[in-house]
Amino acid sequence: MKFPSVPKDKKIDLHKWDSSQKELFPAGKEEAQAELNQLSLRIAELQKCLYAEHKHKVLFVLQGMDTSGKNGTIRNVFQAVSPQGVNIASFNKPSPLELDHDYLWRIHAQTPGKGEIVFFDRSHYEDVTAVRVNKLMPKSIWSKRFDHINAFEKLLSDEGTIIVKFFLHIDKETQKERLLSRLKEPEKRWKFDPSDLVARKLWKNYMEAYEEVLERTNTAYAPWYIIPSNHRWLRNLIVAHIIVKTLEDLKMSYPEAAMPMDEIIID
């Protein structure tokens, strides 16, 4: 399967970027679901080995507009993995203590240690998108952050962290459908937040902010993938494929027993 990576040194226009792309998996939804189940089993195997080897640190970053499916992606792709094997760090509105520090302070604290996989559900990229679009900081502040972020991710990478970043791309029409369905279903209604409508009004500004993110922070050591996310099954399938490839590329193996096998006597 071809992964939709982000071209280097090119202008990115998210309005023209197809967020459906069903042609990437012509066999369709049911086949995709069967393949996803297989992939999630493979991810569970790879996670166990990662934990045992205690060598690599793995960080997946998820960004996207409301209803793009950050939670759903994690739930589906990691369906077979023990919850012990994956930490989800959700970055909502910063607390007063967090606001007293630099914006990477709370982020750095949640980065994975050896043998760990961490998912960032939102991340430091809010500090150059939401912060920018809602004018929470002047440009003189947020414009410096692209360099900080690249340097921060370079540090993590140089010190042994594998970083992969996903932008879950939906179009505005898809968001409308999903927000409406949230309102229709009593069990989903709690998810509806009036501030989502504010963000929706600023859609164009958000896309501009994300375009700059994708252009400026798509590095060899922390690449972005733009995931067409209008179809949940396709979104999950692509993310699962990328995660399997990322983990397989580590060429992991289980460590040997701590002493030679023929010397171990259990009486």
Length in residues, the chain: 267
> Which residue, 56 or 182, has its beta carbon nearer to a copy of itself?
56
Compute the least distance from the CB of residue 100 to a copy of itself, in Å.
3
Compute the least distance from the CB of residue 103 to a copy of itself, in Å.
7
Virtual torsion, Cα 43, 60, 201, 72, nearest 10 deg: 20
> Which residue, 23 or 100, has its beta carbon nearer to a copy of itself?
100
Residues 187 and 116: their CA atoms lie apart, in Å, by 33
> Which residue, 151 or 197, has its beta carbon nearer to a copy of itself?
151
Compute the least distance from the CB of residue 88 to a copy of itself, in Å.
18
b/e burial code for range 38-71 (CB count within 10 A of at least 16 → b):
ebbebbbebbebbbeeeebbbbbbbbbbbbbbbe
Residue 161, C-beta contacts closer than 8 angstroms, at least 6 positions apart: 56, 57, 58, 59, 111, 112
> Which residue, 100 or 262, has its beta carbon nearer to a copy of itself?
100
Compute the least distance from the CB of residue 256 to a copy of itself, in Å.
20
> Which residue, 79 or 157, has its beta carbon nearer to a copy of itself?
157
Amino acid at 78: F
Compute the least distance from the CB of residue 54 to a copy of itself, in Å.
8
Compute the least distance from the CB of residue 107 to a copy of itself, in Å.
9
- In the three-class reduction of DSSP (H, G, I as helix; E, B as strand; rest coil), residue 5 is classed as strand
> Which residue, 146 or 203, has its beta carbon nearer to a copy of itself?
146
**Contact (CB, 8 A) for 30 and 240:** no
Compute the least distance from the CB of residue 255 to a copy of itself, in Å.
16
| Closest to 90 (Cα-Cα) out of 76, 74, 79 | 74
**Paired tokens of 210:** 């994300």
Q: Which residues bind a copy of itself (CB under 8 A)?
A: 54, 57, 97, 100-105, 108-109, 111, 113-116, 141, 144, 147-148, 151-152, 154-156, 158-161
The count of C-alpha atoms lying within 13 angstroms of the C-alpha of 4, restricted to the half-sphere facing its C-beta, is 25
> Which residue, 11 or 93, has its beta carbon nearer to a copy of itself?
93
**Contact (CB, 8 A) for 77 and 20:** no
